[in-house]
Structures are given as C-alpha cells and as structure tokens.
C-alpha cells in the first residue's frame, strides 16, 4: 500500500516526517500504514469536529441576528467558545438510562449516528489534492453512507422504550428514506456530464469560468433547487424537522438521551448538515475551483454559503406536517427530478451541451 496522498506542503511535511519516523523505528509495513491512516483519520476527525462546533455557534448567532437580538455573548468575544462550554457541560451530566430500555440498541444508537456522520468525509475533496481517498465511486459512496443515520434513528426510537420516541424515530426514518430518491436523482442529472462518479473528476469538470453545474440551464438550477430541498429534509431541519419538533412531541427520537449521548446526536446533526452542504458545493457550485485564493478557502466558503442558506431557511419557514412532507416528496419532487434527469440525458445525447 502506498502512503496516503496528502498535498499542501505543510501537511505533507508532517506526514512525511511521521512516515520516516515509523520507518526509522523499524515498524513492519502494514503497521506503518495503519498508523499513517490512523493519523489521517484523527486529523480529519478533529477538523470536522471543530467545524461542527463552529457551526453550532454560527447557527445561534445567525438565528439571533435574524431575530434582532445578540445570541451568545458572554463566553469569549461574542460567545465564540460557547459550544465548547456546552459540550463540557453535557459531558458532566448524568447519563440517565431507563430500566426498561433495550440495552444494546440504546447504547449503540448514538455511536452509529456519530460514526455514520463522519464516514462521508473519506471521499470529500477539501481542496486541490486534499482528499483522503479518491474513490472512483466517490459520490455513490457518500450517498450510501449518509443513509446509515436512518438506522441510528430507528435504533434510538426503539431502544428508548417510549412511544414518543418511537413515533419520532419512525417518522424520521420515513422522511429520510423518502427524500433519498430525489436527492440522488438530482445529483445524477449533473453527474451525467462528468462521465465518472469520482469526486475529483466532478470538480475538475467544473473548472473554468461559468462551468459550474448550477449555471447549466435548464437542468442545472432545477437540480440544484431540488437537491437543496431534499438535503434540508435529509438533515432533519425545518421545514422538515418533524422528528425534533418541540411543539408537537417534545424532541422525538432523542428524548430519552442525556449527557454525552445526546451531545453525539446533536453534533452528528450538524456534521450531517455540513456534509450535505459540502456535496452541494462540490457538485453544483464548483468545489474548490476559483481564482486567486487557495482551493480549500473556496471550498470552505462555498460550503459555508450553503450552510448559511440552510440556516436562513430554518429560521424563516414554518414546518410541514408529516403527511404533507411525504406527499411533497413523492408526488412532487420525485417526478420533477426524474423529468429533469431525462431532460439532461436528452440534451447530452444530442450534444447540445459541452462536455
């Protein structure tokens, strides 16, 4: 196995140093690779956790300023490390476990959720050359892995032995599964034009001015809009946040979780939001393409723009009722996305668009 490919000078330097250190110690080759991949994993994990913490703070600030108030202000300048303090607080809380819970399922649900949220970043291009593994089925892998969260929701609902939680879990599972279809199909409509499922190829196909898939009218914007709507539903956010709607059944599937387990669900939700925004930025907004600035700045900027849009939508719109939600998915989004796919295929077949 080759050592992992990581570009940007410094990081390559650190990993190269680590690799040489391991060689000089005399570790056998498989162990060397394990340690190297481990180090890589830790790096990606910590960077993402920091992003998740930042996103929680940012959401609270944006919500507050839309509502003409300040948000967190006390803990650091404008409350920047509020999330860290909240995480520490959750860490020291009692882990309440009900007697009648299903022990294995209850225990593993938050872990599955947390792990599933991070798995997608194996194939996520953070910048030119900054990808952990350039799988040739990149986007398919990401789509497959983001569905694991459904299992964890069902496990949480079932393991809590609580009818509220079960209702919440079932609704949430139905919602996520229903919105997978329009999400994948709208991505397909643009991936037709790249000829490959690899994330790096998708981004490369959008290099140059105005080559971004969102600008490829007519199928590009339609695919973008339907993807965004499906992404909001995947991330369980308003207007599709029935599973966690406080006004209805007081926090759905994670109602019986406290302390660090709850923190895992909470952080996994924000990592999920970052994931779907990153996919949108990669596939529709051109990934790390852009002049002058380093590529990872562009990637981050576009992702955060999508995240901002998601937050704005959350704090503006009311929520849909669960049957209206399902109706919207199956009766509106699925036909529209399929029609869009067919349109894109026809346009490509007759050569009406550049490659």
Partner 1 sequence: MRILDHIRNLLKGLGIAGKHLGRHAITIQYPEERMDMPERSRGIVVLLSDKETGELNCTSCELCMRACPTAAIKIVAHRDENKKKVLDEFVVDNGLCCFCGLCEEACNFSALKMATKYEFSTLGKDELIWDVDKLQQVGRDVDYVDTRKKKKPKPDKPAETKTTNDSTAPAKNDPPTDSAKPAAGTQEKQTATPVPEADGKDTTTSPEAVKEPPVVADPDLPADPPEVTKPTVAKNPAPGNEDKEQGGQTDGTS
Partner 2 sequence: MAKLRTEEFLVNMGPHHPSTHGVCRLVLTMDGEKVVHIEPVIGYLHRAIEKICENRTYPQCSPMMDRFEYVTAMASDHVYALAVEKLAGLEVPERAEYLRVIMVELNRIASHLIFWGVTAMDVGAYTPFLYGLREREDIIDLFEMTCGQRLTYNYIRIGGVSQDIPDEFVPKCREFMDKLWGKFADYEGLLNENPIWLVRTKGIGVLTAEKAIAFGASGPVLRASGVDYDVRRDDPYSIYDKFNFEIPTQKNGDSYDRFIQRIDEMKASLRIIEQALDNLPEGDIKCKVKPKFKPPAGEVYSRIESARGEMGVYIRSDGSTKPVRVKLRGSSYNHLRLVPEIATDVLIADLVTIFATLDIIMPEVDR
Q: Which residues bind partner 2 (CB under 8 A)?
A: 63, 66-69, 163-164, 167, 238-239, 241-242, 245-250, 315-324
Exactly one of 27, 34, 62, 75 binds partner 1 (CB under 8 A); which one? 62
Angstrom distances, CA of residue 220 to CA of 31, 121, 197, 353 = 46, 25, 17, 12
Least distance between partner 2 and beta carbon 240 (Å):
10
Least distance between partner 2 and beta carbon 329 (Å):
14
Is 65 a binding residue for partner 1 by CB under 8 A? The answer is yes
Least distance between partner 1 and beta carbon 182 (Å):
16
Choose among partner 1, partner 2, none what residue 163 binds, the Cβ cut-off being 5 to 8 Å by kind. partner 2
Please answer whether residues 268 and 117 qualify as being in contact, where contact means their C-beta atoms are separated by less than 8 angstroms. Answer: yes
Is 2 a binding residue for partner 1 by CB under 8 A? The answer is no
Binders in 305-324 for partner 1, by CB under 8 A: 312-313, 315-317
Three-state DSSP class for residue 284? coil
Burial of 274 (0-12, 13-18, 19+ CB in 10 A): buried
Is 75 a binding residue for partner 1 by CB under 8 A? The answer is no
**Residues ≥6 apart with Cβ < 8 Å to 222:** 186, 336, 340
Q: Which is nearer to partner 1, 211 or 316 (CB)?
A: 316
DSSP symbol at 2: P
Is 103 a binding residue for partner 1 by CB under 8 A? The answer is no
> With CB under 8 A, what is the number of residues at the site for partner 1?
14
> H helices within the chain, ranges in order?
9-25, 29-66, 82-91, 103-119, 138-146, 148-159, 163-191, 199-204, 219-234, 246-249, 259-283, 295-314, 322-327, 334-349
Is 217 a binding residue for partner 1 by CB under 8 A? The answer is no
Q: How far, in Å, CA of 212 to CA of 161, rounded?
A: 48
Please answer whether residues 66 and 312 qualify as being in contact, where contact means their C-beta atoms are separated by less than 8 angstroms. Answer: yes
Q: Which is nearer to partner 2, 308 or 353 (CB)?
A: 308
Structure tokens at 327: 């109706």
Is 66 a binding residue for partner 1 by CB under 8 A? The answer is yes
Least distance between partner 2 and beta carbon 247 (Å):
4
Q: How far, in Å, CA of 131 to CA of 282, rounded?
A: 12
Q: Which is nearer to partner 2, 322 or 329 (CB)?
A: 322
Q: Which is nearer to partner 1, 74 or 103 (CB)?
A: 74
Choose among partner 2, partner 1, none what residue 323 binds, the Cβ cut-off being 5 to 8 Å by kind. partner 2
Q: Which is nearer to partner 2, 55 or 199 (CB)?
A: 55
Q: Which is nearer to partner 2, 180 or 248 (CB)?
A: 248
Element (H, E) at 56: helix 29-66
Please answer whether residues 213 and 283 qualify as being in contact, where contact means their C-beta atoms are separated by less than 8 angstroms. Answer: yes
Please answer whether residues 70 and 64 qualify as being in contact, where contact means their C-beta atoms are separated by less than 8 angstroms. Answer: yes
Choose among partner 2, partner 1, none what residue 92 binds, the Cβ cut-off being 5 to 8 Å by kind. none
Choose among partner 1, partner 2, none what residue 73 binds, the Cβ cut-off being 5 to 8 Å by kind. partner 1
Is 64 a binding residue for partner 1 by CB under 8 A? The answer is yes
Least distance between partner 1 and beta carbon 65 (Å):
5
Choose among partner 1, partner 2, none what residue 46 binds, the Cβ cut-off being 5 to 8 Å by kind. none
The span from the first CA to the last CA of the chain, in angstroms, equals: 34
Choose among partner 2, partner 1, none what residue 176 binds, the Cβ cut-off being 5 to 8 Å by kind. none
Q: Which of 76, 20, 19 is nearest to 53 (CA)?
A: 76
The packing angle between helices 103-119 and 259-283, to 10°, is: 30
Q: How far, in Å, CA of 232 to CA of 73, rounded?
A: 28
Structure tokens at 191: 């991936």
Exactly one of 26, 69, 94, 103 binds partner 1 (CB under 8 A); which one? 69
Is 207 a binding residue for partner 1 by CB under 8 A? The answer is no
**Residues ≥6 apart with Cβ < 8 Å to 69:** none
> By the criterion CB under 8 A, which residues form the site for partner 1?
62, 64-70, 73, 312-313, 315-317
């Amino acid at each position: 196995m080759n050592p992992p490919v990581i570009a940007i000078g410094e990081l390559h330097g650190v990993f190269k140093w680590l690799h040489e250190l391991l060689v000089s110690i005399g570790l056998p080759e498989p162990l060397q690779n394990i340690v190297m991949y481990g180090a890589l994993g830790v790096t990606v994990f910590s960077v993402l956790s920091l992003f998740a913490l930042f996103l929680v703070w940012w959401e609270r600030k944006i919500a507050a300023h839309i509502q003409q108030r300040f948000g967190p202000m006390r803990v650091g300048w404008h409350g920047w490390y509020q999330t860290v303090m909240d995480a520490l607080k959750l860490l020291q809380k009692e882990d309440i476990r009900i007697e009648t819970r299903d022990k294995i399922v209850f225990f593993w649900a938050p872990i599955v959720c947390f792990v599933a949220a991070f798995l997608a970043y194996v194939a996520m291009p953070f910048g030119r050359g900054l990808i952990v593994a350039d799988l040739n089925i990149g986007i398919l892998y990401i789509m497959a892995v983001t569905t694991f969260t459904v299992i964890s929701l069902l496990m949480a609902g079932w393991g809590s032995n609580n009818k509220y939680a079960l209702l919440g879990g079932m609704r949430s599972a139905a919602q996520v599964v229903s919105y997978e279809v329009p999400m994948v199909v709208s991505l397909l409509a643009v991936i037709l034009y790249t000829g490959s499922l690899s994330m790096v190829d998708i981004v490369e196909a959008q290099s140059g001015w105005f080559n971004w898939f969102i600008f490829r009218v007519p199928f590009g914007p339609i695919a973008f809009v339907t993807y965004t709507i499906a992404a909001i539903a995947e991330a369980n956010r308003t207007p599709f946040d029935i599973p966690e709607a406080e006004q209805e059944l007081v926090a759905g599937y994670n109602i019986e979780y406290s302390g660090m387990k709850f923190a895992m669900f909470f952080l996994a939700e924000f990592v999920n939001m970052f994931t779907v925004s990153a996919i949108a930025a990669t596939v529709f907004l051109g990934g790390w393409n852009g002049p002058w600035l380093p590529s990872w700045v562009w990637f981050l900027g576009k992702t955060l723009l999508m995240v901002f849009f998601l937050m704005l939508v959350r704090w503006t719109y009311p929520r849909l009722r669960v049957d209206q939600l399902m109706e919207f998915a199956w009766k509106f989004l699925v036909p529209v996305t399929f029609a869009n796919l067919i349109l894109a295929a026809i346009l490509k077949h007759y050569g009406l668009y550049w490659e």
